[in-house]
């Protein structure tokens, strides 16, 4: 490669412009005199499908704006490779995700603190959740923010099949839940809160990164593929990166204060390993000298979902509305600012419930939509009227790994989540799939239910259900854990509770890879919270005060 030496120096260099990187850039540039450089491997977020919520279906398969990662084959996937697409543009996955705003349960974060991570319990992180949020709609103001950058709205497009599904769940004993983000009461069924406002997706780039550029203290470099963290001894000093368009020209950018990795669970692990930080055996296999022998890339977890599809009668579903004259009408409604399928998240209804009645709190997350996708996968809508009820386990026990294949920064790493490897995961998934089918068979939904499609009505036994899960299950795109937060005494930890990499200086990791365990939720919301808290840690500011009236 032809190296072009570059002496640009900033106070902070952030790798990645996703949920975490955008929030960090916004907060760090609030300080006068501070300069920040953000490196993003992908292009700018100008594509119109990024900003129209329904465009996610197109963007998810566009390699120009996504990392088209795939898992290794595994027994839990019947030997299949599972696409684990991640965002590769300004905003990262927040520019292509399902836009769901879902924090999880109080116990998720109390568990993080109980693992030795001071300041990460629920009462500690709640103020940071609030700081990102501008809640538009009902909600307890002790729990929800009203003045943050991210607008969080309620759905304004109501479909009779959704209403019947909710009625049916309530009839089965799953109560209606007005606010699953309340912290104390997640269980129930209702409509999702989402990061959609006035018909448009509001990504982290739109609400955090782009406003920060107006300060004049932020330099955002797109098409910049990070290849290595640079060190002087044990101190991180900068990043070597390559122009992603010509794949030849190299640059270096330096940090006076800190280098911060916010590349996401897969790329953060890969970049650390390429830089000599990771398991000694993995680094030796690819010929990288060991700078710090740490379990980078281990503790990898993801939500593995199964989607149950049924045919619909007596009403039009999104499948028909998204074609021909129906689509033209929906476009017209969207352009006039009226409720439209173009301004929807892919999942409309949530249901949080328990795989076993003996549990105190939900261990399942379910989703529902009056739409269905070919072979049960998000992507291409079915030709027939359909509805989908999906489910996954909140906190999977199965863990996997992310390992760099070589020193080539253009080579995707080995990704092995080991889906369904743990017997507990199989038990919970079985209960979840059976419950999902029951939810499609309620009397309240009978007027619209026109038969099971995937799996067919012949699937009944445990073995048949598990075979279905292995053959048709897929990722929920909630990748976490490869740079686990924990004290130095924890052999599984990579960063401490201030997100500093153990044994190194001036290097932090701020993204979903630091999550010690999976939250009982989508990960976008918690990733922004982590970045909000990290920004105060980095700036040396005291933590935000606990919310009055919320007990520890």
pLDDT digits (tens, 9 = 90+) for 99-110: 999 999 999 999
Phi and psi, residue 24, nearest 5°: -60, -45
377 pLDDT tier (thresholds 50, 70, 90): low
Residue 378 pLDDT more than 60? no
Contacts of 182 (CB under 8 A, 6+ apart): 140, 143
Phi and psi, residue 135, nearest 5°: -70, 125
Residue 3 pLDDT more than 60? no
The reported pTM is 0.97
Cα–Cα nearest to 344, from 155, 103, 150, 153: 155
Residue 7 pLDDT more than 80? no
**pLDDT tens per residue, range 435-480:** 999 999 999 999 999 999 999 999 999 999 999 999 999 999 999 9
Residue 379 pLDDT more than 90? no
Place of tokens 């503790």: 299
CA distances from 419 to 74, 232, 428 (A): 8, 39, 13
Residue 98's pLDDT is 94
- Average pLDDT of the chain to the nearest whole number: 96
Residue 1's pLDDT is 44
Residues of the chain above pLDDT 70, percent: 98
Residue 124 pLDDT more than 70? yes
Active site residue 441: no
Burial class of 480 by CB neighbour count within 10 A (0 to 12, 13 to 18, 19+): buried
Higher pLDDT, 42 or 57: 42
Residues of the chain above pLDDT 90, percent: 95
d(CA 90, CA 210): 9
Burial class of 89 by CB neighbour count within 10 A (0 to 12, 13 to 18, 19+): buried
**DSSP strand pairing (193-194 vs 200-201):** unpaired
**pLDDT tens per residue, range 350-370:** 999 999 999 999 999 999 999
Average pLDDT of the segment spanning 408-420: 98
CA distances from 426 to 280, 289, 299, 305 (A): 32, 39, 19, 12
Average pLDDT of the segment spanning 160-179: 97
The radius of gyration of the chain's CA atoms, rounded to the nearest angstrom, is: 23
Residue tagged active-site, from 202, 460, 478, 502:
478
**pLDDT tens per residue, range 207-256:** 999 999 999 999 999 999 999 999 999 999 999 999 999 999 999 999 99
Contacts of 46 (CB under 8 A, 6+ apart): none
* Ordered domains of the chain (ranges, CATH): 9-539 (3.50.50.60)
**pLDDT tens per residue, range 255-275:** 999 999 999 999 999 999 999
SS3 label, residue 168: helix
CA distances from 194 to 21, 30, 265, 393 (A): 20, 27, 23, 21
Residue 371's pLDDT is 96
Residue 2's pLDDT is 46
Cα–Cα nearest to 298, from 312, 319, 281: 281
Q: Where are the beta strands (DSSP E) in 91-199?
A: 133-136, 150-154, 188-191, 193-194, 196-197
Whether 414 contacts 70, CB under 8 Å:
no
């Amino acid at each position: 490669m032809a190296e072009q030496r570059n002496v640009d120096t900033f106070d902070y260099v952030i790798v990645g412009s996703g949920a975490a990187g955008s929030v960090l850039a916004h907060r760090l540039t609030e300080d006068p005199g501070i300069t920040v450089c953000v490196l993003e491997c992908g292009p700018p977020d100008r594509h119109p499908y990024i900003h129209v919520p329904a465009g996610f279906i197109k963007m998810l398969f566009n390699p120009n704006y996504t990392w088209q990662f795939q898992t290794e084959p595994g027994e839990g996937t019947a030997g299949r490779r599972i696409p684990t697409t991640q965002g590769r543009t300004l905003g990262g996955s927040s520019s292509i995700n399902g836009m769901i705003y879902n924090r999880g349960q109080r116990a998720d974060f109390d568990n993080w603190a109980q693992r030795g991570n001071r300041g990460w319990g629920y009462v500690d992180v709640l103020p940071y959740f609030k700081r990102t949020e501008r809640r538009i709609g009902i909600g307890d103001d002790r729990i929800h923010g009203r003045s943050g950058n991210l607008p969080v709205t309620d759905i304004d497009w109501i479909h009779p099949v959704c209403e019947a599904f909710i009625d049916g769940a309530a009839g089965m004993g799953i109560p209606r839940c007005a606010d699953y983000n309340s912290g104390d009461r997640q269980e129930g069924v209702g409509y999702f809160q989402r990061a959609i406002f006035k018909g448009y997706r509001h990504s982290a780039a739109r609400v955090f990164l782009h406003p920060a550029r107006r300060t004049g203290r932020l330099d955002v470099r797109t098409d910049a593929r990070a290849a290595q963290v640079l060190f002087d001894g044990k101190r991180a000093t900068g990043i070597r990166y390559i122009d992603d368009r010509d794949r030849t020209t190299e640059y270096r950018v330096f940090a006076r204060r800190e280098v911060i990795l916010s590349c996401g669970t897969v790329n953060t692990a890969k970049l650390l390993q390429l830089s000599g930080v990771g398991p000694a055996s993995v680094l030796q296999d690819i010929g990288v000298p060991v700078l710090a022998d740490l379990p980078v890339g281990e503790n990898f977890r993801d939500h593995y979902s199964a989607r149950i599809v049924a045919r619909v009668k007596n009403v039009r579903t999104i499948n028909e509305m998204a074609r021909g004259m129906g689509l033209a009408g929906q476009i017209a409604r969207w352009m006039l600012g009226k409720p439209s399928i173009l301004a929807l998240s892919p999942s409309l209804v949530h249901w949080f419930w328990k795989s076993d009645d003996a549990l105190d709190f939900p261990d399942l997350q379910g989703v529902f939509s009056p739409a269905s996708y070919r072979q049960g996968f998000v992507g291409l809508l079915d030709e027939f009227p359909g509805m989908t009820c999906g489910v996954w386990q909140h906190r999977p026990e199965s863990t996997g790994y992310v390992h760099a294949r070589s020193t080539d920064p253009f080579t995707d790493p080995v990704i092995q989540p080991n889906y369904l490897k743990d017997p507990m995961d199989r038990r919970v998934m079985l209960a979840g799939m059976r419950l999902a089918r029951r939810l499609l068979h309620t009397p309240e939904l009978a007027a619209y239910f026109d038969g099971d499609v995937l799996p067919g009505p012949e699937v009944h036994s445990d073995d048949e259900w598990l075979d279905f899960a292995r053959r048709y299950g897929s990722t929920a795109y909630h990748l976490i854990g490869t740079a686990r937060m924990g004290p130095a005494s924890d052999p599984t930890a990579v960063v401490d509770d201030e997100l500093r990499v153990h044994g190194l200086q001036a290097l932090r990791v701020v993204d979903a890879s630091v999550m010690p365990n999976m939250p009982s939720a989508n990960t976008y919301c918690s990733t922004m919270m982590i970045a909000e808290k990290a920004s105060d840690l980095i700036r040396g500011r005291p933590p935000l005060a606990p919310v009055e009236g919320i007990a520890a």
